[in-house]
Structure 1
Amino acid sequence: MIQRIQTIYLLLAFVVTGVLPFIFPLWTMADGKDYFFMQNQVYIVVLGLSTTLSLLSIVSYKKRQNQFVMGRLNIILNLILLGLFVYRSLNLSGETVAVSEKGIGMFLPIVAIVLLVLANKAIKKDEDLVKSVDRLR
């Protein structure tokens, strides 16, 4: 399980979606307070689903096809999360009034998407290898 490169990618995606949002703020308000994801229920649900899918993907290493599908769903969830972050920072509060500086937490879904794409590539490579070996028998 751990010797496969996609497990490492999925573990890093788990850390990016499950641990780092608690450390890095999404943005800093004009009054100097940091805005974390915990202050919005939608962000909590989407990040929780993404973290859970990463963990389930790691655990289901014997079922490569399910792992691949979970990876794609996780990519879609992270794209939705990124869209919500961009929408919130550009439209709802107004740049000049409430949000003074965007934090590194806004870019965490991008890092997760890259890691999940790399994991899906490795899963696909493993699946193709298994199919080619089965053909030779």
Structure 2
Amino acid sequence: MIQRIQSIWLLLACVTISCLIFVPIVNTSIGSAQYLLTAQGIYEKVGEQSKQLEASLPVLISTIAIALLALFNIFNFRKRALQKRIALVTIVLIIGLSFWCSQYAKKIPGGLENANYNVGLFLPVISIFFILLAIRGINNDEKLIKSADRLR
């Protein structure tokens, strides 16, 4: 059913991974310049002015695709086995995206030695946690349906 708890968990996972687009993952300061890394790219902020140094369109597209996959998975409520498989694929894709972002973070000026880690670093982990809770909800639905079938 669409009103089950796993729909809420999948929606929260979608929103969490979507926040990765706007929330900085890593930032570092060199002199008066501050460098930020988001899923959109590397930004240099000097005073109030901000300009994009390097765009990361593949990371941005991947982040949006993973968020849409989690959102699409909400509507597979009638096919629980497929819903679980898509949730597991989403977890693997989030892990891959996290690795990709970590490799991309090495390009930030000043390196990662002096970098400050922001909330964006923990968003993929939170999203994976929400998807795991959704899988648990799907398993509970399967148990409920199997027990109802035994009663018939």
Whether these two folds match at TM > 0.5 is yes
Unpaired segments of 5 or more residues in structure 2?
A: 42-55
Q: CA deviation at 1:120?
A: 0.4
Q: CA deviation at 1:55?
A: 1.1
Unpaired segments of 5 or more residues in structure 1?
A: none
2:130 to 75, 96, 115: 115
Q: CA deviation at 1:114?
A: 0.2
Q: CA deviation at 1:22?
A: 3.3
Higher helix share: 1
Give the structure with higher Rg (CA).
2
1:61 to 77, 85, 88: 77
Aligned position for 1:132: 147
Number of equivalenced pairs: 133
Superposed, 1:35-54 pairs within 5 Å as 35-39=37-41, 40-54=56-70
Q: CA deviation at 1:33?
A: 3.1
State the TM-score, normalized to the length of structure 1.
0.84
For the 8 Å contact 2:70–2:87, the answer to whether it is kept is: yes
Q: How many Å separate the matches in 1 of 2:116 and 2:86?
A: 34
State the TM-score, normalized to the length of structure 2.
0.77
Q: Which amino acid aligns with 1:15?
A: V
Q: How many Å separate the matches in 2 of 1:12 and 1:55?
A: 9
For the 8 Å contact 1:6–1:122, the answer to whether it is kept is: yes
Higher strand share: 2
Listed one character per residue, the Cα deviations across residues 77-114 of structure 1 (whole Å, up to 9, x for unaligned) are: 1111122233344x555324xx6212211111100000
Q: CA deviation at 1:17?
A: 1.2
Q: How many Å separate the matches in 1 of 2:139 and 2:102?
A: 31
Q: CA deviation at 1:64?
A: 1.3
How well do the aligned residues superpose, as a CA RMSD in angstroms?
1.9
Aligned to 1:95, the other structure's residue is in SS state coil
Identity over aligned pairs, percent: 30
Superposed, 1:1-137 pairs within 5 Å as 1=1, 3-18=3-18, 20-30=19-29, 31-39=33-41, 40-89=56-105, 91-93=106-108, 94-96=111-113, 100-137=115-152
For the 8 Å contact 2:2–2:75, the answer to whether it is kept is: no
Listed one character per residue, the Cα deviations across residues 57-76 of structure 1 (whole Å, up to 9, x for unaligned) are: 11221221111111111111
Q: CA deviation at 1:2?
A: 5.0
